[in-house]
Homo-oligomer: A and B are copies of this chain.
Amino acid sequence: MIVIMKNGAEKEEIQKVIEKLEKVGFSIHLSEGVERTIIGAVGDKSILNELGLEAMGGVERVVAIRHPYKMVSREVKSENTIIKIGNVEIGGSQIQVMAGPCAVESREQLFEVAQMVKDSGATILRGGAFKPRTSPYAFQGLEEEGLKLLAEARERTGLLIVTEVVDPRTIDMVSEYSDILQIGARNMQNFFLLKEVAKANKPVLLKRGLSSTIEEWLMAAEYIYAGGNHNVMFCERGIRTFETTTRNTLDLSAVSMVKQLSHLPVIVDPSHGTGVRSLVQPMSQAAIAAGADGLMIEVHPNPPEALCDGPQSLTPDQFSTLLSSVKDIARAVGRNL
- Chain A: residues with CB nearer than 8 A to chain B? 29, 40, 42, 68, 70, 130, 132-137, 166-169, 186-187, 189-192, 210-211, 213-216, 219, 222-223, 226-227, 239-246, 249-254, 256-257, 260, 273-274, 276, 278-279, 282-283, 285-291, 325, 328-329, 331-333
**A136-B222, A214-B245, A239-B241 provided; 17 other pairs, C-beta below 8 A?**
A68-B135, A68-B137, A70-B137, A135-B222, A136-B219, A166-B192, A211-B211, A214-B246, A241-B249, A242-B242, A250-B253, A253-B279, A282-B289, A285-B289, A286-B289, A288-B289, A289-B290
Q: How far is the CB of A130 from chain B (nearest CB, A)?
A: 8
Chain B residues contacting A210 (CB-CB under 8 Å) are 211
In the complex, are the beta carbons of B332 and A132 less than 8 A apart? no
Q: Quickly give the copy total for this chain.
A: 4
Q: Chain B residues near A331: list those with CB within 8 A.
A: 332
A289 touches B251 (CB 8 A): no
Contact B254 A282 (CB under 8 A): no
CB contact under 8 A between A240 and B242, given known A132-B189, A219-B135, A289-B286: yes
Neighbour of A245 across the interface among B219, B241, B243, B257, CB < 8 A: B257
B residues less than 8 Å from A329 (CB atoms): 289, 329, 332-333
Q: With A and B bound together, what is the CA distance between A250 and B130 in angstroms?
A: 33
Taken together as a complex, chains A and B put the C-alpha atoms of A186 and B169 apart, in Å, by 19
The 4 closest A-B pairs by CB, nearest first: A211-B211, A289-B289, A286-B290, A256-B282
B249 touches A273 (CB 8 A): no
A137→B328 contact, CB < 8 A: no
- Kindly identify which residue among B68, B187, B243, B290 contacts A239, using a CB–CB cutoff of 8 Å: B243
Closest Cβ–Cβ distance, residue A198 to chain B (whole Å): 9
Which chain B residues lie closer than 8 Å to A219 at the CB level? 134-136
For residue A274, which residues in chain B have a CB less than 8 angstroms away from its CB? 253
Distance in angstroms from A268 CB to nearest chain B CB is 10
Shortest Cβ distance from residue A143 to the other chain B in the assembled complex, whole angstroms: 11
Give A276 to B276 CA distance when docked, in angstroms. Answer: 29
Task: Write the nearest CB–CB distance from A6 to chain B, whole angstroms.
Answer: 24
Chain B residues, CB < 8 A from A241 = 239, 241-242, 249, 251
Q: How far is the CB of A324 from chain B (nearest CB, A)?
A: 11
- Chain B residues with CB under 8 A of A260: 278
| Chain B residue contacts of A287, Cβ below 8 A | 286
Q: A286: which of B189, B286, B325 is its contact (CB, 8 Å)?
A: B286
Chain B residue with Cβ nearest A192: B167
